[in-house]
Amino acid sequence: MKREKPKYFTIDEIHSALLGILTEFDRVCRENDLRYSLSHGTLLGAVRHHGFIPWDDDMDVVMPRPDYEKFYELVHAGKIKLGEHFSLTDDRGKKALYPFYKLMDDRYAIKPWSHKEVPYLYLDVFPIDGAPEGEKAIEKAFKRRLKYSGICALARWAVPEKKWMLILRGLLFPFYLGCAIYGAPRASRKANRYATANAFETSKYCGTFNFGTTKWVMETEKFTRFIELPFEGKSFFVLKDYDAWLKLLYGDYMQLPPENKRITHGLKVWKRGQTNEDYNT
């Protein structure tokens, strides 16, 4: 029997569900004195739109590595009680998908367009790590991160729905196969090992060294001061010097991009409990 597709969420419905995940994350951080900041498109949305970027379909936060590790330890020790529908993915061990966490809400199933992801809608939680001294050392650390980030991404590459992606996958098949054999868990361990080589607390500079394709490094002291900004009628923490971080990420961030540059993650989201809640498997 042919399976009927579930009713996919509109972008406004995705935003509402994502806001619920962020609200749960914020609650846990406040109750346990954990530092975090909205980041990437979520921070840009807070500053430029006082909420979501209208076309954005994901959320990102960053945490100084000490708080990131404390969050992990408290959750896995059962000392942090997440809400009924929430769970945390692993960034280490055999179950690791990527070298960072995702806080999931199992009320919302997802189907990504290009990569195998977790089964439920999520908030990305990235650590901020200490950077080595000197431009050459930072560049070397970045290249190591890029290598293992790429392995993680290619190892999780799903069968693409778009024709151009199918062609690209054919051209890159030897790399894809090699990454799949190497495995995302092993790549995640390597990425985290290199990312944590320099302690956040004693490093003059810090940045995102465990995942991504761009080098973002800033003074560590700027990741120790936080303020609150309104976001969709609520209030969340951001870096006090969010302007410096956003300029590093986006340059002239207050300028709206042209419509053909307004990229989404292409997630299809639906409420679990419909007839075909396992449509993405």
> What pLDDT score was predicted for residue 66?
97
Task: Output the pLDDT for position 213.
Answer: 57
Residue 139 dihedral angles phi and psi, to the nearest 5°:
-65, -40
pTM: 0.90
Query: How much is the pLDDT for 216?
Result: 85
Quote the pLDDT of residue 7.
92
Q: Count Cβ atoms below 10 Å from residue 249 Cβ, excluding itself.
A: 16
Q: Check residue 150 and give its pLDDT.
A: 82
In a domain? residue 5: no
pLDDT, tens digit (0-9, with 9 covering 90-100), for 20-66: 999 999 999 999 999 999 999 999 999 999 999 999 999 999 999 99
pLDDT at 2: 57
Q: For residue 71, what is the enclosing H or E element?
A: helix 65-76
| Number of structural domains in the chain | 1
Q: What's the pLDDT at 164?
A: 65
Residue 162 lies in a domain: yes
Q: Has residue 53 been placed in a domain?
A: yes
Q: Supply 92's token pair.
A: 């280490």
30 sits in which H/E element:
helix 11-31
Residue ranges of the chain with per-residue pLDDT less than 70: 1-3, 113-115, 158-166, 168-169, 212-214, 274-281
Could you tell me how far CA 178 lies from the centroid of its own chain?
24
Let me know if residue 108 belongs to a domain: yes
Q: Give the span between the Cα atoms of 20 and 30, in whole angstroms.
A: 15
- Per the domain annotation, does 277 fall within a domain? no
Return the pLDDT at 95.
85
Q: What pLDDT, on the 0 to 100 scale, is given for residue 281?
A: 39
Q: Are 209 and 145 in contact (CB under 8 A)?
A: yes
Q: Could you give the dihedral angle defined by the CA atoms of residues 103, 159, 214 and 54, in that order, rounded to the nearest 10 degrees?
A: -60
Element (H, E) at 26: helix 11-31
- What pLDDT is attached to residue 139? 86
Owning domain of residue 149: 11-271
Q: pLDDT by residue (tens digit) across 219-231?
A: 999 999 999 999 9
- Residue 261's pLDDT is 81
Q: Is residue 276 part of a domain?
A: no
32 within a domain of the structure (yes/no): yes
pLDDT for res 279: 42
Decide if 194 is inside a domain. Answer: yes
